[in-house]
């Protein structure tokens, strides 16, 4: 009697049985052994490379803060320069000296002083104008080449202009502004 509901002996005949003949355990042992030494070395080396790249990708917080200060200063200087050209009044930017109790900077000659901040975003930032006491921002469209060096801890970053173009972050090794 062979129907779909009744199991037959044919299924039992198809089942594989383990053989105790020589050489039959080799395939089974290879599947159970696990990873080879080369596979483990490849994985360990990939982990080492990834962790090394992660340590290189971590940035110095002082450098990041200084880049933020430089970008903010560039925007403020360009804003004051545009206001100077629009109003026809000479506008100057000068850092406060390090010996004052209130470190920061000031804009002299802007019409609405409350529009311009006078403090750095973080503490410890200092600025030095190369070759002058203040940065003249106008009202003429062509100003003298100027350069400001920002410092925070052991980090340095320079902001400058060639007089015709806008202020931008410049290379600290190159003495000429962009």
Q: Which residue has the tokens 């629009």?
A: 86
Q: Which residue has the tokens 């052994």?
A: 33
- Please give the pLDDT value at position 41: 95
pLDDT in tens, the chain (178 residues): 555 666 555 655 565 666 666 655 555 555 566 889 999 999 999 999 999 888 877 777 788 899 999 999 999 999 999 999 999 999 999 998 766 667 789 999 988 888 899 899 988 899 999 999 999 998 998 999 999 999 998 889 999 999 999 999 998 665 554 4
Is the previous residue joined to 139 through a cis bond, with omega within 30 degrees of 0?
yes
- Please give the pLDDT value at position 83: 93
C-alpha–C-alpha distance, residues 76 and 93, integer Å:
10
Task: Give Cβ neighbours of residue 149 (< 8 Å, ≥ 6 apart).
Answer: 127, 128, 130, 156, 157, 158, 172
Statement: 61-170 belongs to CATH 3.55.40.10: yes
Q: Which one-letter DSSP state was computed for residue 90?
A: -
- Please give the pLDDT value at position 178: 46
- Please give the pLDDT value at position 63: 82
- Please give the pLDDT value at position 173: 64
pTM of the model: 0.66
- Please give the pLDDT value at position 123: 87
Sign of CA dihedral 142, 144, 145, 149: negative
- Please give the pLDDT value at position 53: 87
Whether residue 119 contacts residue 101, with contact meaning beta carbons closer than 8 Å, is answered with no
C-alpha–C-alpha distance, residues 90 and 96, integer Å:
19
What is the CB neighbour count within 10 angstroms for residue 157? 21
Whether residue 96 contacts residue 106, with contact meaning beta carbons closer than 8 Å, is answered with yes
- Please give the pLDDT value at position 171: 80
C-alpha–C-alpha distance, residues 125 and 63, integer Å:
11
Q: Which one-letter DSSP state was computed for residue 160?
A: E
- Please give the pLDDT value at position 112: 86
- Please give the pLDDT value at position 57: 77
């Amino acid at each position: 009697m062979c129907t779909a509901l009744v199991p037959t002996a044919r299924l039992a005949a198809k089942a594989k049985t383990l053989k105790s003949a020589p050489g039959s355990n080799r395939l089974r042992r290879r599947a159970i052994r696990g990873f080879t030494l080369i596979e483990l070395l490849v994985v360990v080396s990939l982990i080492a490379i990834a962790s090394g790249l992660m340590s290189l990708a971590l940035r110095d917080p002082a450098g990041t803060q200084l880049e933020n200060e430089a970008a903010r200063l560039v925007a403020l200087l360009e804003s004051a320069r545009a206001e100077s050209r629009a109003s026809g009044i000479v506008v100057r930017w000068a850092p406060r000296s390090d010996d004052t109790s209130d470190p920061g900077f000031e804009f002299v000659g802007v019409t609405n002083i409350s529009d311009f901040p006078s403090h750095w975003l973080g503490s410890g930032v200092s600025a030095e104008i190369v070759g002058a006491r203040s940065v003249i921002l106008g009202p003429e469209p062509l100003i003298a080449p100027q350069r400001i060096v920002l410092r925070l801890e052991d980090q340095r970053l320079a902001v400058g202009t060639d007089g015709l173009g806008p202020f931008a972050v410049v290379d600290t090794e190159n003495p000429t502004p962009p």
